[in-house]
Chains A and B, each alone.
Chain A
Amino acid sequence: NAGVTQTPKFQVLKTGQSMTLQCAQDMNHEYMSWYRQDPGMGLRLIHYSVGAGITDQGEVPNGYNVSRSTTEDFPLRLLSAAPSQTSVYFCASSSTGDEQFFGPGTRLTVL
Chain B
Amino acid sequence: SQQGEEDPQALSIQEGENATMNCSYKTSINNLQWYRQNSGRGLVHLILIRSNEREKHSGRLRVTLDTSKKSSSLLITASRAADTASYFCATDARDESQGNLIFGKGTKLSVKP
Contacts and interface: CB of A to CB of B under 8 A. Distances in A.
Given A43-B88, A98-B33, A50 B99 contact: yes
A96 B102 CA distance: 16
A101 interface: yes
Interface residues of B, number: 25
30 contacts: A33-B99, A33-B101, A40-B105, A42-B88, A42-B103, A42-B106, A43-B43, A43-B90, A43-B103, A45-B100, A45-B101, A45-B102, A48-B100, A50-B97, A50-B99, A56-B97, A56-B100, A58-B100, A59-B102, A90-B42, A97-B92, A98-B33, A98-B92, A99-B33, A99-B48, A102-B44, A103-B42, A104-B41, A104-B42, A105-B41
Interface of A: 4, 31, 33, 35, 40-45, 48, 50, 56, 58-59, 90, 92, 94, 96-105
